[in-house]
């Protein structure tokens, strides 16, 4: 029996009937697939964004997204979160401080997020400004190189939804030794990182005391989210983009790519990954 068979379906997955072809023969099977629903983020009664996301850990998503989009500057500006089923998806009702709401109204832009897009819905190129990071101060925390591989190996073992469906990304947070302490999954790599940030903030964990690992490429927006969350290091299993490398350098974030098979490549601020680090 493979991962898609049987009766158990983890949160964020559902069953569908399918036809499997193998060795010249076809058979009817029950397969697990990742759920992907429109999720509306509504601030003080005003709909701001609709993202396609996996419907799990949505309170974490609301907090992480709000920080990454600079809607709030601190999790304390979020007073309440309600997750409700809507006609065609899910609505997350978020109550935020009046000052944050004023900033949101000034910069509000309607956008439809997609799982492979980082800048959907922006109104002009003026918004796209790599210098406008508003990042938290990133400390010069040091990590042993082995910590990256310990965390990435643990992340592969902790992807419950991906093991069941083969269709989602994961983001994890590890301490300085590489012990993986928090994992979030989603069909969108950006969403998975938002959920991770939200989970850490809600648990009042110091994001700067460890680093993030992701099962995707490191794009501009992934680095931007890491910088705004205060991660000193972002480690990706795949490659970065040129713009991501540039932004990581500007933001003071150590960016590592191709973290797999006992090797990795450091693209910015290599001083944080020292063999003698403890």
Judged against a pLDDT cut of 60, whether residue 4 lies above it is answered with no
Supply the residues annotated as catalytic.
117
Residues 6+ away with beta carbon under 8 Å from 36: 52, 53, 54, 115, 187
- Whether residue 32 is predicted with pLDDT greater than 90 in this model: the reply is yes
Average pLDDT, the chain: 89
Domains assigned to the chain: 37-117 (3.10.20.10), 145-272 (3.40.140.10)
The stretch 177-201 carries a mean pLDDT of 98
Any idea what DSSP says for residue 229? H
**169-175 and 111-113 strand pairing:** unpaired
The pLDDT assigned to 87 comes to 81
Structure tokens, 2? 């493979």
Q: Which two tokens stand for residue 137?
A: 């101060």
pLDDT score of 274: 78
End-to-end CA distance of the chain: 43
R_g of the chain, CA atoms, integer Å: 19
- pLDDT for the residue 96: 98
Max CA-CA distance within the chain? 64
Average confidence (pLDDT) over 100-126: 59
Residue 111, pLDDT above cutoff 70: no
Nearest-angstrom CA–CA distance, 99 and 115:
30
């Amino acid at each position: 029996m493979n991962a898609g068979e049987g009766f158990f379906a983890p949160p964020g997955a559902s069953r569908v009937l399918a036809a499997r072809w193998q060795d010249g023969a076809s058979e009817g099977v029950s397969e697990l697939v990742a759920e992907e629903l429109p999720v509306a983020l509504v601030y003080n009664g005003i709909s701001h964004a609709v993202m396609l996301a996996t419907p799990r850990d949505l309170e974490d998503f609301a907090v992480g997204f709000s920080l990454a989009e600079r809607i709030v500057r601190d999790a304390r500006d979020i007073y309440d979160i309600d997750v409700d089923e809507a006609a065609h998806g899910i609505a997350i009702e978020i109550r935020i401080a009046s000052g944050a709401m004023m900033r949101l109204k000034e910069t509000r832009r309607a956008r439809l997020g997609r799982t492979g897009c980082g800048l959907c819905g922006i109104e002009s190129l003026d918004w796209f400004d790599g210098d406008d990071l508003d990042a938290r101060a990133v400390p010069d925390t040091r990590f042993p190189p082995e910590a990256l591989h310990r965390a990435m190996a643990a992340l592969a073992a902790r992807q419950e939804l991906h093991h069941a469906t083969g269709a989602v990304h994961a983001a994890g947070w590890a301490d300085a030794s590489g012990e993986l302490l928090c994992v979030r999954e989603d069909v969108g790599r950006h969403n998975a990182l938002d959920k991770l940030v939200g989970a850490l903030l809600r648990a009042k964990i110091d994001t700067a005391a460890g680093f993030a690992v992701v099962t995707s490429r490191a794009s501009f927006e992934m680095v931007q989210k890491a910088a705004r969350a205060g991660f000193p290091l972002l480690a990706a299993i795949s490659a970065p983009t040129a713009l991501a490398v540039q932004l990581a350098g500007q933001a003071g974030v150590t960016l590592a790519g191709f973290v797999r098979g006992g090797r990795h490549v450091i693209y910015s601020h290599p001083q944080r990954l020292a063999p003698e680090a403890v």
